[in-house]
Structures are given as C-alpha cells and as structure tokens.
C-alpha cells in the first residue's frame, strides 16, 4: 500500500488500475488448472468460494491496493473494504472487483472473467460515481474491455516469453450493433416471475440463445453481436443473484457507454441506491429497444 497523491487525476489512476489488472491476468490464467476445486469457505453472499476465486482475489488485491491513487479496495470475496490509504472522493478512488466472475465454470472449463469498477466515492455508491469500468475475459484469448469517459475499447492481453505483459487495443469506440442477434437469461424458468417468462417467450422467437453461465462471457456476446443479457428477479429471490457494486454497476457502465441500456426492471442500474456493498440487484442489459420492452413487460 502506498500514500495516494491527492492531485492525481482520474485518467492516470484509471490507467494504472487497468495496467495492474492486465499485469495479473496471465498469472491468474496460469494458476487456474490447479485451482478448479472448492476452497471450503463461503463468501459474504453465502456462496461457496473456489480455490481460483481466492487466488485471483489475493493477486488482484495486492496489485490494485499498490496503485497510487487507490484509497479503498472492495471485493466480492471479502466481507469488508481494504483501506489502501487516502481519502476516497478527495483525490483517491475506490476500486470494486469480482475477481473471478463465473468461477463455477472452472470445473467444466468454460469462459470466465474479472470485473472492475473504479468509483470516485466511498462504497457503497451508485454507478453514477463510476469514472471507469472494465472486465477481463478469459476465453480462448485473454481480452480486456475498458470503458471510461472516452468510450469503450477492447484490448488483447499477451505475455511475452520474457514474462512482460502487453495491452494492445484491437477495437476502439466499441458500440452495440443496431440489429441484435443473441440473448442469455439466468436462473431456472420455473423460478421466473410470469411477466419475465412472457417477455422471454417473445425474445426466444427473435434472437439466438447464447448462455454460458459467466456474466462476463455472456455480456461480451451481447456487446459483440447485439442483444440482451439478464439475471432476472426470481420469485423467491426478488433481488436476483448478481451484486450491484461488483457486477451490475460496472457492466451497466460499459454497456451504456457502448450505446446500450441497463435496468433493474424499473430504474437505470446506475441510479440504484445501494444499502450495503454486497447488495444484489436484478440485471437486464443490452440494446436499448430490448431493455425498454423489458421494462414495459414487467410494468
Ligand atoms: P460468481 O461471481 O460467484 O461466479 O456468480 C455470478 C455468476 C455470473 O457470472 C452468472 O451470470 C451467474 O452467476 C450464473 O449463475 P447460474 O450458475 O445460477 O446460472
Ligand atoms: Mg460474479
């Protein structure tokens, strides 16, 4: 941990945070083969934690709290925030991460990722306090999508034989395609409220199903092909499954910056007021027209 420079501007802190995330990505990836088992512990949301979750959390925690200008670090896998030194909102930033989103995919060797939000306010805060957000996708290629004031870009992360890590931009000004192609909805159909089931029946006649069980992978398909991803409110779990601070807010920020929309069913995700840092929220995110229809269907 280092003392923050109070006059450090958002851009340079954001850049340093995503450098730190990119630097750790190859190390996380390389460590996964031996960490496909449960760790035997539960996280703050009461979910079983995989060995890979713990490893990614520790590595990212060390790298992010060492960034000059990060005042606080919060993770889906940690009960409380880590004080990294410096007053958040007064020159220092709070970083929230889901270290390994979709880690239940470790067993079946399917895609997963890391989600990152950089907030200019102490957490919990609304998504309006985000100054940048991004995610790493551990697919056949390790990519990182970053959104900030300047827009959304996709980068490829590569490690050279000497161990050095590079970030290369492969797409600038990423925007959602106008003609949506894919959808992916989480949860079991019998657990969906009737109004959402009716909406899903319409959507499945129009779009192709692409659901992989990792929000990052599924949202990346929506960003690439256009469409809608949801982890909806469930009859017995009206808040759904995903966490506002670590998952929904960063994803909403990215998709909105790419010209799309994100809602909890009524309210723009970025306006949802959190009570605690581990709060859950229903998430419906994708092309504006599809999200608007969803809001009407749930009304
Ligand atoms: P995680 O962060 O503990 O991996 O949980 C979040 C994941 C999301 O990536 C994904 O959309 C959802 O859980 C899938 O849940 P399910 O396995 O119930 O379909
Ligand atoms: Mg997650």
Chain segment 240-293, per-residue pLDDT in tens: 999 999 999 999 999 999 999 999 999 999 999 999 999 999 999 999 999 999
Q: Helix 194-206 to helix 288-298 angle, to the nearest 10 degrees? A: 150
In angstroms, the CA 242 to CA 76 distance is 10
Chain segment 9-34, per-residue pLDDT in tens: 889 999 999 999 999 999 999 999 99
d(CA 14, ligand 2 centre) in Å: 21
Predicted local confidence at residue 37, as pLDDT = 87
Residue from 242, 249, 251 whose mutation best tests the ligand 1 pocket (most atoms within 8 A of CB) = 242
Count Cβ atoms below 10 Å from residue 163 Cβ, excluding itself: 8
ipTM for the complex?
0.95
Numbered residues of the known binding site for substrate? 101-104, 211, 241
d(CA 149, ligand 1 centre) in Å: 28
Burial class (CB in 10 A: 0-12, 13-18, 19+), 159: middle
d(CA 101, ligand 1 centre) in Å: 7
Please give the domain boundaries of the chain with CATH numbers for all domains.
10-171 (3.30.540.10), 182-298 (3.40.190.80)
Chain segment 159-193, per-residue pLDDT in tens: 999 999 999 999 999 999 999 999 999 999 999 99
Confidence of residue 4 (pLDDT cuts 50, 70, 90): very low
Taking the CA of 282 as reference, the closest ligand is 1
Taking the CA of 77 as reference, the closest ligand is 1
In angstroms, the CA 267 to CA 299 distance is 11
Q: Which residues are found with C-beta within 5 Å of the ion, ligand 2? A: 98, 101, 247
Protein residues whose CB sits closer than 6 Å to any atom of ligand 1: 47, 98, 101-104, 186, 213-215, 231, 241
Which residues have CB under 8 Å from 43's CB, separation 6+? 49, 53, 76, 77, 78
Evaluate the CA torsion angle 161, 166, 171, 174 in order and state its sign.
Answer: positive
d(CA 161, ligand 2 centre) in Å: 31
In angstroms, the CA 172 to CA 160 distance is 23
Predicted local confidence at residue 86, as pLDDT = 84
Taking the CA of 213 as reference, the closest ligand is 1
For residue 206, give both structure tokens.
């129009």
By the 8 A CB rule, do 184 and 286 touch?
Answer: no
In angstroms, the CA 158 to CA 142 distance is 7
In angstroms, the CA 227 to CA 207 distance is 8
Global pTM value: 0.96
Confidence of residue 1 (pLDDT cuts 50, 70, 90): very low
């Amino acid at each position: 941990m280092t003392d923050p420079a109070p006059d450090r501007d958002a851009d340079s802190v954001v850049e340093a945070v995503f450098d730190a995330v990119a630097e750790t990505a190859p190390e996380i990836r390389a460590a996964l083969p031996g960490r496909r088992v449960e760790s035997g512990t539960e996280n703050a949301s009461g979910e079983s934690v995989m060995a890979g979750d713990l490893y990614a959390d520790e590595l990212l925690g060390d790298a992010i709290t060492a960034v000059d200008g990060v005042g606080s670090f919060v993770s889906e896998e940690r009960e409380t925030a880590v004080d990294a030194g410096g007053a958040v909102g007064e020159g220092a930033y709070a970083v929230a991460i889901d270290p390994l989103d979709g880690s239940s995919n470790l067993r079946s060797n399917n895609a997963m990722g890391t989600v990152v939000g950089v907030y200019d306010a102490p957490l919990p805060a609304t998504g309006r306090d985000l100054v940048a957000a991004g995610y790493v996708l551990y697919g056949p290629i390790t990519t990182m999508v970053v959104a900030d004031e300047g827009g959304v870009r996709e980068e490829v992360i590569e490690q050279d034989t000497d161990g050095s890590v590079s970030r290369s931009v492969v797409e600038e000004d990423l925007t959602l395609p106008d003609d949506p192609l894919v959808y992916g909805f989480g949860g079991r159909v019998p657990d969906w409220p009737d109004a959402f089931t009716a909406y899903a029946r319409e959507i499945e006649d129009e779009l192709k199903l692409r659901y992989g069980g990792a929000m990052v992978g599924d949202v990346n398909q929506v960003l690439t092909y256009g469409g809608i991803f949801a982890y909806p409110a469930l009859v017995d779990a009206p808040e759904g499954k995903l966490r506002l601070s670590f998952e929904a807010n960063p994803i909403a920020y990215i998709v909105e910056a790419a010209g799309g929309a994100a809602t909890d069913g009524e309210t723009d995700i970025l306006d949802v007021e959190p009570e605690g840092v581990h709060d859950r929220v229903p998430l419906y995110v994708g092309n504006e027209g599809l999200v608007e229809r969803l809001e009407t269907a749930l009304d």
